[in-house]
Structure 1
Amino acid sequence: MIVKITVNEHLPKTMCTERRDIDFWTICKKKFLIPGFHRKILWYLLYFRFSNLLGSVYRKGNVTFTPDGNCVVSPVGNRVTVNKSETLPMESTRNITCVAIAPDGYTMILVNEDGEAYLCSLISKTVLHTYHFHRPVHQIKFSPDGRKFAVTKEKTVQIFHTPGKNREFNPFVLYKTFSGAYDSTVCIDWTSDSQAFCVGSKDMNTRVYGTQRFTNLTVYSVGGHTDAIVGSFFEADSLDNGHVCVFECDTDLDELEPYKPKDVPIEDKTDDDMETEDTKNLKQVAKHSFKEARGEGAAYAKLTSTAYHKSTHILVTGFEDGAFFLHEMPDFNLIHSLSISDQVIASVAFNNTGDWIALACSGLGQLLVWEWQSETYVLKQQGHFNNMNCLCYSPDGQYIVTGGDDGKVKVWNTSSGFCFVTFNEHMGGITGVAYRNFRTFTSPRPVQFSCITVDHSGEVVCAGGRDTFEIFVWSMKTGRLLEVLSGHEGPISCVSFSMTKSLLASASWDKSVKLWDVFENKGAKETIQLTTDAISTLNAQISFWNPTTAVQKGSIEGRHDLGYSRKDSDKVTAKTLAAGKAFTTVCYSADGRCILAAGQSKNEYLDKKKMTEWGSLALVDQGEGESDGKNISLPGVKKGDMSSRHWKPEVRVTSIQFSPTGRAWAATSTEGLLIYSIDQNLVFDPFDLEIEITPSNVKKTLTREDYSTALMLSFRLNESKLIQEVVESIPISSVEVICENLPDTYVDKLLDFLARQIESTAHIEFYMTWINRLLMHHGPKLKQRSQKIMAILRSLQKGLTRKHEDIGKITDENLNKLNFLFVVKVSFCYSFV
């Protein structure tokens, strides 16, 4: 995908480029220059960092819980998401398939489809080291003591020292490689004391290894299955092994005897030598079948995932038809069974207490957390089944509405990252959304709508037609069709109301833009060929027009920024392809100073290694065995995946929009809903800074109780933590005097800080006092420049609304409890009388 931010000053391109999964370019026009302001705009743009990924909660790989058991971690494409509204900033070059978190909760290892591993810090949220296994990895798991971790790789298992546990410069230090399997190893489990581990393989056997050599423990190989092993586990504090076939070991963990070499040095002795030693064995004591749990006459379904909680002896198993079962081991007593979908359950996991079970379905992109004792959902999230097409922010920036090809409209909370409302009344794909829609509007005859907009007051709704080339105008209050605007000669691609005037702009495939006065002149219009106030055309140009005078103010040539690229399935050169590229969506920033434009990915290149004399190998359908593709079920297949087609998804951006608060912007893409925001922890933007203004001097001024001076100095240094320390150190009795005498230069800065702080602080009354006093004393002046500080005011509204909702829920709950106690007390008194 291509996303470009445009500002109005000429600067070197190298100063403004940052390569992530979205690339930034800064293109400038001197005639729009506001003197002395260009540097501020540039830094403002570079503050935006990847913040969150909404709309996608799971793609493939294993899900796991954090050591405290409160958060579930799931891989989403080439990123990792924590269910507490956080997508970690680390990203991989390919989709992530394995996730493992160290027992101490400080480090995490991610492995992608190509076997490239990333050692990540969960404290700094950065990649510390990379290591390439050069082969696909099925599972990676830390030992309970956290000193080692095991990796399944082809027919072997590799044991590594945990980074930081030994004095080695290289974080990935190989301890030992264990072999013996005749097919790929797929699953691992450790004993409670980390002395041994078991490995399940596709050769239908499970092998038990010791991390060191023991005289009474060899490589056990246990079988009894008729298909590949999905999961094998040890019981707590024992070597008893079970995977529906239950095996009992005649050796306890504390009876293991370290091997002492006699004549042959230990480094020269192999596992084959050890197998000749006099050792003890595992014996099968039970074998169970899932046919009993599924009931008589139930259709066969393949086991796809499993997990075992050792302390509670609970086994959970997921199947390809969306059903999962809970059994108590080792007697295999059925506790619970439920079907959550009709798609494959790809991964399951227990939290540390065993109360919550995470279940992930790759076909639906669904992630559930189920509390099995109360039989309730702790978390239930699912993104759009198909691509997202459009998005819209709420007026306060607190919510985002998205529409997709699956005909669903979802409302997302930008703070929690969760979808809390889903509308599925539409029968076709959604092509446009506008917030505050609560009615169903229809046209006199069936029309396929392509775009929608709502006027600034929220009273008029307009939609453009794709097949009739007309614009329909409805009343929001009555739902009646007010007018049908005709004049375009091609499908309507976009409609938008002016924020300041009663003008409606519409763009069409007929290479024209029309301006309509919907309210006064009953459809009087003016036609502009090809362009309007910020429009992207198919020749990759963005033009700026004055909507009142229809005079062009400027243009941006975007073809050079789109770049050259050629995918492995393209049959023409990259230069030829560039002639047909264009930006597909544009939007203004919240303050109207910047343009955000997005389009198709330019980061996909032809692999010349796949070129032959007949063309690219990518043009040959290689079926399901091709690792770069993706399987999708054919229409009509409801249970399992009886048949599938194969395709390669392409990265695209379909819609972008700035938040009304100006502190974030979002993009709907094939990867999900990407949100980029300003991270205040990474920003250092001093204001009128002098040499003597240092954190120590600010704290000395605060110690002298010169609160007003300390507050202004902290704003000049502009460090968020320091400002918070100064503000929270000021007595509540001094707030009135400081707000009344605060210079106008610092009023906006203080209001911006309070707006950001009110969202996360626990000192609600304290900060509400600051906000109240500041608005009471400076309200008239703030109203005069409200357009300039609109982003700050909306951010403040967003924070206050959220706190009002949170406190309202607590208040309602307390009132209900008090009413209940009052009724109980009255009933008790009457019964006593």
Structure 2
Amino acid sequence: MKFAYKFNNLLGAAYKKGNLIFTPDGNSVISPVSNKINVFDLRNNKISTLPIESRFNYVALDLSPNGCTLVAINEEGEAHMISLISQTIVHTYRFKGKVRCVKFSPDGKHFAVCKENNAFVFKAPGQFSGQYNAFVMERVYHTSTDETTCLSWSTDSRLLAVGSKDMSVKVYALDKFANFRIIALRNHTDSIVQCFFEKGSYDLITISKNGQMCVWECNLNLNDLIPWDKAPPRKKQKVEEEVEDNVDELKVIEQTELEITEALKEVSLEVENETKEKVDQKNHFSYKKLDRHYLADEPRKDDREAVLTSADYHIDSKILVTGFSNGSFFIHEMPDVNLVHSLKISNEKITSIAFNGTGDWIALGCSDLGQLLVWEWQSETYILKQQGHANNTSCVSYSNDGEILASGGEDGKVKLWNVNTGLCFITFNEHSSAVTSVAFSGNKKFVVSASVDGTVRAYDVIRYRNFRTFTSPRPVQFACVAVDVSGEFVAAGAQDVFEIYLWSVKTGKLLEVLCGHEGPIGSLDFNPLPTSSTLVSVSWDKTLRIWDAIEKGSAHETIDITSDGICVVFNPNGQEVAVATLDSHIHIFEIKTASQITTIEGRYDLGSGKSDTDLISSKKTLEAKSFTSLCYSADGEYLIAGGQSKNVCIYNVKEKLLVKKFEITQNRSLDAMDDFINRRKLTEFGNLALVEERENREGGPVSIRLPGVRKGDMAARVHKPEVRVFCLEFSPTGQQWAAATTEGILIYSLKVGIVFDPWDLQIGITPAAVRNAVQEEKFMEALTMAMKLNETNLIQESLESIPLKDVELIINTLSIQYVQRLLLILAEALGTSRHVEYYLIWIQCILSIHGPSIKIQKNMPAILALEKVLVRRYQELSKICDHNKYTMQYISRLGEVAQKKSKELTDVQMKDENESDSDNEDLFEVYE
């Protein structure tokens, strides 16, 4: 099995903090999510996460006008210049301070950055500027008395407006102009949120936090600024040159030196007056306030404390959108400030707003909810509506074909995600408290969830409704849930009464209450074999219990374990179980004999991860770490484990070896990332991390949590959560695994072509030899050599060169070991190739000829991958067929209508002709 898993996608977190931006074509939204960046393709309904990662959360980003270069800056002032073509970080620059905003100029030659009370202008590398060195500083402006907040470039990229918390907006020129001076616009009574230049002019719109908007008119047009090198020529220089040329003549007439000096002074005064008159013809750069509007009056009707938090302006259509702290946004038409549209999307503040290029779509982000919306304001419809779990994602579960991922959160919601697109397509809100566990049925028809609100709910995946609610005779808090392989029974364990409850899915009735545990139930699982109904459970009472509740009721077998049981999971072969205990051990037991097979020590693989507020050493912290989630791979040979750490470990069960360890994040904005506390935080007064640093935010949160608080809620002071892995799940296809973490749901998948993994390779087997065999029409030899090289592209090339009439013969000749490997290859090829019928013939021949010889358990990943791609291809082709069918019906209907109209027109013409003939006959009779 390969372990070249790479980070592929981030689900469950659409937006965290920072600003949203659209790509130049307006079809995609770029959203910062913690220390990663998500790209939402609105045309294809797909999410992709850039394969880059920062050491801290991103807070400011902007895209160049050509859409190739992205500048992203994290909260510690580290700027990354990212190429969206190669999706790599090409350069890094440290500002050594917090950065509020970054903005590219419209011509793409420069970009400006706000830091503290300064504004920096850099040359943008690329063909527009002719500069290929990154972060070459061009200008520095530092005249603000407080922190700068926003930037705006004029449409000709010559002027830069900078807003700040000192309630003023200053206008700077990028180059030196003869009739320009720095302007400070001071008429606001609160800090500036945004400022915007109008199109084709230097007129400004400034907006402050208290909702005041000022409109400023500039006295100059775009072409009225006079460059310094093109200013009116000074006559003084010409006169001095003429005087120097005529010195000899002046000497001839015997004028004194004093007279020459006095003549020069008079001429100089005359030239200065003349120059001043010419410059005054073009007035110096200045602004006049035209109007002031109060945009916060409308939202304050519902909330008197509402303040303006974000705004954006589309200069082409002159549409202004403003977002407020109460979750409402308003669209105004400028310059008359007519209210066009208003909507309230939540009760939390809108932290970012952005228009797309055409001005039809508006992207809105709410950082407190992790919500991202794209709203088409003209038709008043949602283009995109995504929201992760408000708090941590506590559990995940794959469907049996790996197409759907279910997640439960501490916000009481259950979400279903499409693994291929990365989008959440349904959210269930029936639970009133935190969801602790989710599980899919074996037939993929429903998913069940357990919650501490005392209910277990079953949701129909096809009709999207809660069709069953399972409850206990007395109120309990459920900590875990499991569904048997047939989908007929549901079992849930309680954490406060130490009992396991068993229900029937068909009737919804409680069948059995399994008693025996003396501590909270940590986890339970059903045997995956269809011939068995065994249920295993572990508890904090240091026991593993094996139940056959369906046949024997409460009768069970007890196995003592070394410490409190946290998690138990069945091997896909149905013969073994793995148990994670509080002492960081993983114990493997055989079910039939109730004997222990092996033990894996994982304490030192987890890592300590000392928190800033911990008062004990990292060595003592390590003793309290343990695995909280386990999952077997599809073939049952490997075990993935994670818990109270940033590390996820994959173990070989038989060899008890650590095969691979993944560090899920490098985000230092999370707590417990390092094994040692930074010495710079330790002072004679204690740890600086324990000092509350309040800021003037809406709601006024602080930077540390309440003492003893581990899990946050909407009112807690948690600002720096600890990194944790709450749940792990292998995809049934074996091609990916998911981790529910503090940052969201991380998807790691096997990427084709990143690892050379040959099989039974020999010296003479090369890509050239494979292609030579194809040319010589030795198709069998070419296919076997390509499979031994294990290069997907080469295998697909050799497969597609085989004539259709030889497919059955080649499959008959192949041995079973080649056939088993070929199944997974065919599944991958079918998902990407256009030759759908060709590969379907291959699959049909393999299953009809070698079907009885294929071992289901060993080839489960390949069979599930085949089912997954067939379902997806069927859906795609169904859409195309339906579209073609309805198009043909429409065209046929148009033809019938056209034919009917033509017939009616012919009838009318014939009627007119008959009437005209009769009139002619009457006239002829009259004439006679």
* TM-score under structure 1 length normalisation: 0.86
Equivalence for 1:213: 176
Does residue 412 (structure 1) correspond to residue 421 (structure 2)? The answer is no
Equivalence for 2:524: 495
- Residues 455/325 of structure 1: CA separation in 2 closer, same or farther (3 Å cut): same
Deviates further, 209-218 or 152-161: 209-218
> Given that residues 326 and 334 in structure 1 are in contact (C-alpha distance below 8 angstroms), is that contact kept between their aligned partners in structure 2?
yes
Q: Residues 479-558 of structure 1 correspond to what in structure 2 (within 5 A)?
A: 479-500=508-529, 501-530=532-561, 533-558=577-602
Equivalence for 1:199: 162
Equivalence for 2:910: none
Does residue 621 (structure 1) correspond to residue 689 (structure 2)? The answer is no
Deviation string, structure 1 residues 364-415 (Cα, Å, up to 9, x no partner): 1100011112111010000111111111110001111111111111111111
Deviates further, 552-561 or 757-766: 757-766
The structure 2 residue matched to 1:805, chosen from 875, 878, 886, is 875
> Given that residues 758 and 799 in structure 1 are in contact (C-alpha distance below 8 angstroms), is that contact kept between their aligned partners in structure 2?
yes
Deviation string, structure 1 residues 212-260 (Cα, Å, up to 9, x no partner): 2122333232232222111111222332222342223333323433212
Equivalence for 2:464: none
Does residue 330 (structure 1) correspond to residue 335 (structure 2)? The answer is yes
Equivalence for 1:606: 677
Deviates further, 648-657 or 811-820: 811-820
Deviation string, structure 1 residues 575-611 (Cα, Å, up to 9, x no partner): 2222222112222112111111111136334222222
- Residues 523/229 of structure 1: CA separation in 2 closer, same or farther (3 Å cut): same
Q: 1 CA distance for matches of 2:302 and 2:371? A: 29
Percentage of matched positions with identical amino acids: 47
Q: 2 CA distance for matches of 1:230 and 1:632? A: 29
Deviation string, structure 1 residues 660-693 (Cα, Å, up to 9, x no partner): 1111111111111111111114232223334444
Equivalence for 1:37: none
Equivalence for 1:16: none
Letter in 1 for 2:146: D
Q: Residues 772-791 of structure 1 correspond to what in structure 2 (within 5 A)?
A: 772-782=844-854, 785-791=855-861
Q: 2 CA distance for matches of 1:319 and 1:748? A: 59
Aligned-pair CA distance for 1:440: 1.4
> Given that residues 161 and 174 in structure 1 are in contact (C-alpha distance below 8 angstroms), is that contact kept between their aligned partners in structure 2?
yes
Equivalence for 2:237: none
Letter in 1 for 2:551: E
- Residues 703/235 of structure 1: CA separation in 2 closer, same or farther (3 Å cut): farther
Letter in 1 for 2:325: E
Letter in 1 for 2:598: G
Aligned-pair CA distance for 1:322: 0.9
Q: 1 CA distance for matches of 2:157 and 2:76? A: 28
The structure 2 residue matched to 1:771, chosen from 821, 843, 848, is 843
Tell me, which stretches of 5 or more residues in structure 2 are unaligned? 41-45, 207-212, 235-278, 441-445, 448-457, 459-467, 563-567, 569-576, 646-671, 707-713, 905-928
Q: What SS does structure 2 have at the residue aligned with 1:463?
A: strand
Q: 2 CA distance for matches of 1:256 and 1:95? A: 41
Q: What SS does structure 1 have at the residue aligned with 2:546?
A: strand
Letter in 2 for 1:236: K
Q: 2 CA distance for matches of 1:541 and 1:556? A: 6
The structure 2 residue matched to 1:746, chosen from 778, 802, 818, is 818
Equivalence for 1:447: 476
Does residue 88 (structure 1) correspond to residue 54 (structure 2)? The answer is no
> Given that residues 629 and 649 in structure 1 are in contact (C-alpha distance below 8 angstroms), is that contact kept between their aligned partners in structure 2?
no
Equivalence for 1:246: 215
Deviation string, structure 1 residues 306-327 (Cα, Å, up to 9, x no partner): 1112222221111111111112
Does residue 386 (structure 1) correspond to residue 456 (structure 2)? The answer is no
Q: 1 CA distance for matches of 2:401 and 2:302? A: 55
Q: Please report the RMSD computed on the Cα atoms of aligned residues, expressed in angstroms.
A: 2.9
Q: What SS does structure 2 have at the residue aligned with 1:445?
A: coil
Equivalence for 2:106: 144
Q: 1 CA distance for matches of 2:475 and 2:345? A: 37
The structure 1 residue matched to 2:78, chosen from 108, 113, 116, is 116
Deviation string, structure 1 residues 245-299 (Cα, Å, up to 9, x no partner): 2223333323433212999xxxxxxxxxxx9996232333333221565597874
Q: Residues 360-439 of structure 1 correspond to what in structure 2 (within 5 A)?
A: 360-435=365-440, 436-437=446-447, 438=458, 439=468
* Higher RCO, 1 vs 2 (CA within 8 Å, ≥6 residues apart): 1
Q: What SS does structure 1 have at the residue aligned with 2:194?
A: coil
Aligned-pair CA distance for 1:335: 1.8
Deviation string, structure 1 residues 801-825 (Cα, Å, up to 9, x no partner): 1222333344445545556666777
- Residues 292/731 of structure 1: CA separation in 2 closer, same or farther (3 Å cut): farther
Letter in 1 for 2:98: P
> Given that residues 200 and 222 in structure 2 are in contact (C-alpha distance below 8 angstroms), is that contact kept between their aligned partners in structure 1?
yes
Q: What SS does structure 2 have at the residue aligned with 1:288?
A: strand
- Residues 599/686 of structure 1: CA separation in 2 closer, same or farther (3 Å cut): same
> Given that residues 187 and 199 in structure 1 are in contact (C-alpha distance below 8 angstroms), is that contact kept between their aligned partners in structure 2?
yes
Q: Residues 553-632 of structure 1 correspond to what in structure 2 (within 5 A)?
A: 553-601=597-645, 603-604=673-674, 605-624=676-695
Equivalence for 1:17: none
Deviates further, 424-433 or 709-718: 709-718
Q: 1 CA distance for matches of 2:634 and 2:79? A: 40
Does residue 102 (structure 1) correspond to residue 57 (structure 2)? The answer is no
Does residue 351 (structure 1) correspond to residue 356 (structure 2)? The answer is yes
Q: 2 CA distance for matches of 1:624 and 1:333? A: 35
> Given that residues 408 and 426 in structure 1 are in contact (C-alpha distance below 8 angstroms), is that contact kept between their aligned partners in structure 2?
yes
Aligned-pair CA distance for 1:70: 1.2
Q: 1 CA distance for matches of 2:11 and 2:364? A: 18
Q: 1 CA distance for matches of 2:10 and 2:49? A: 6
The structure 2 residue matched to 1:467, chosen from 489, 496, 521, is 496
Q: What SS does structure 1 have at the residue aligned with 2:348?
A: coil
Q: What SS does structure 1 have at the residue aligned with 2:351?
A: strand
Q: What SS does structure 2 have at the residue aligned with 1:337?
A: strand
Aligned-pair CA distance for 1:58: 0.7
> Given that residues 628 and 648 in structure 1 are in contact (C-alpha distance below 8 angstroms), is that contact kept between their aligned partners in structure 2?
no
Does residue 175 (structure 1) correspond to residue 138 (structure 2)? The answer is yes
> Given that residues 526 and 533 in structure 2 are in contact (C-alpha distance below 8 angstroms), is that contact kept between their aligned partners in structure 1?
yes
- Residues 748/646 of structure 1: CA separation in 2 closer, same or farther (3 Å cut): closer
- Residues 406/565 of structure 1: CA separation in 2 closer, same or farther (3 Å cut): closer
* TM-score under structure 2 length normalisation: 0.78
- Residues 547/367 of structure 1: CA separation in 2 closer, same or farther (3 Å cut): same
- Residues 314/760 of structure 1: CA separation in 2 closer, same or farther (3 Å cut): farther
Q: Residues 4-23 of structure 1 correspond to what in structure 2 (within 5 A)?
A: none
Letter in 2 for 1:496: D
> Given that residues 179 and 226 in structure 2 are in contact (C-alpha distance below 8 angstroms), is that contact kept between their aligned partners in structure 1?
yes
Q: 2 CA distance for matches of 1:460 and 1:563? A: 39
Q: 2 CA distance for matches of 1:149 and 1:780? A: 65
Equivalence for 1:271: none
Equivalence for 1:22: none
Q: 1 CA distance for matches of 2:519 and 2:716? A: 37
Tell me, which stretches of 5 or more residues in structure 1 are unaligned? 1-40, 264-274, 634-640
Q: 2 CA distance for matches of 1:515 and 1:733? A: 54
Equivalence for 2:312: 307
Q: What SS does structure 1 have at the residue aligned with 2:846?
A: helix
Letter in 1 for 2:177: F
Equivalence for 2:9: 52
Instruction: Kindly tell me the number of residue pairs found equivalent between the two proteins.
Output: 769
Q: What SS does structure 2 have at the residue aligned with 1:433?
A: strand
Q: 1 CA distance for matches of 2:892 and 2:283? A: 74
Q: What SS does structure 2 have at the residue aligned with 1:232?
A: strand
> Given that residues 701 and 717 in structure 2 are in contact (C-alpha distance below 8 angstroms), is that contact kept between their aligned partners in structure 1?
no
The structure 2 residue matched to 1:682, chosen from 716, 736, 754, is 754
Aligned-pair CA distance for 1:197: 2.3
Q: 1 CA distance for matches of 2:195 and 2:175? A: 21
Q: 1 CA distance for matches of 2:705 and 2:183? A: 40
